Amino acid sequence: MTSFAIDIPASLLARLKAGEQTALEQVYRLFEAPAYTLAWRLLGDRDEAQEVLHDAMLALIDRIGQFRGDAPFWGWLRQICINEALMRLRKRRLDYVDELPEPEALARGLQPAIESADLERALESLSPTARSVIWLYYVEGYTHEEIARSYDRTVSFSKTQLARATHKLRELLEVKKSTAAYA
């Protein structure tokens, strides 16, 4: 289950809605790591991930009055974080490009000099779009429909991105295994 799945007490939510600063601090501490991790996985940039964390918390304060409690609070907050991160991805103008790492780049990522390539490294080697789709699907449990909505694209976009990203991830890890075997 996603690390975001943290239920907060109704009293904390009520205090948050009342604008209590201590409530915001409590919520921040609960969700700091999940929100930052999610943003980092989607963006692949620590500075931007930190900005997303900041902006998502501001958005939380602005929109808390709109939270009706139909769905878990964490899911609502997670969607805010995802929206903030995807907005930044779009600004980069790299969005929706089906680019995958060049074979040379893949090889570089797997050379002994940066041999610490593991799943983490493999994920970093993916394109931002591929990485964010695969993360939303596998870790956050998003459906293809939900991913398509988040990107304002079709379901096939999500399926294609996921298939390619999964294939590439496996390939990267496979190459690593082979490299290790020959070393």
Partner 1 sequence: MPDDQTNLLASSPPDDQRLRDAMLAMPLQSPPHSVLPALNARLAKRRGQRAQRRWIPLAAAAAACALALLPWLRGGDRAAPIATLQSHAADDNSAAALIAQNQVFEDALRSASFGSRPLSARDALVGADIEDLIGMLDLELSAASDQAISTDLWQQRLTLLQELAAVRARSTNAKLTAQAVDLQPSVYQLN
Residues 6+ apart with CB under 8 A from 11: none
The answer to the question of residue 174 lying near partner 1 (CB under 8 A) is yes
Question: How far apart are the C-alpha atoms of 37 and 167, rounded to whole Å?
Answer: 23
Question: How far apart are the C-alpha atoms of 38 and 80, rounded to whole Å?
Answer: 11
Our measurement of the distance from residue 173's CA atom to the centroid of its chain's CA atoms, rounded to an integer in Å, reads 20
List the interface residues with partner 1, window 56-75 (CB under 8 A). Answer: 57-58, 61
Which residue from 162, 95, 93, 91 is spatially nearest to 133, judged by alpha carbons?
162
The answer to the question of residue 18 lying near partner 1 (CB under 8 A) is no
Q: Whole-number minimum distance, CB 119 to partner 1, in Å? A: 5
- Contact with partner 1 (CB under 8 A) among 6, 12, 13, 24: 24
List the interface residues with partner 1, window 119-158 (CB under 8 A). Answer: 119-120, 123, 134-135, 138-139
At 88, which helix (H) or strand (E)?
helix 73-91
**Sites of contact with partner 1 (CB under 8 A):** 1-3, 21, 24-25, 28, 32-34, 36-37, 40, 46, 49-50, 53-54, 57-58, 61, 118-120, 123, 134-135, 138-139, 166-167, 169-170, 173-174, 176-177, 180
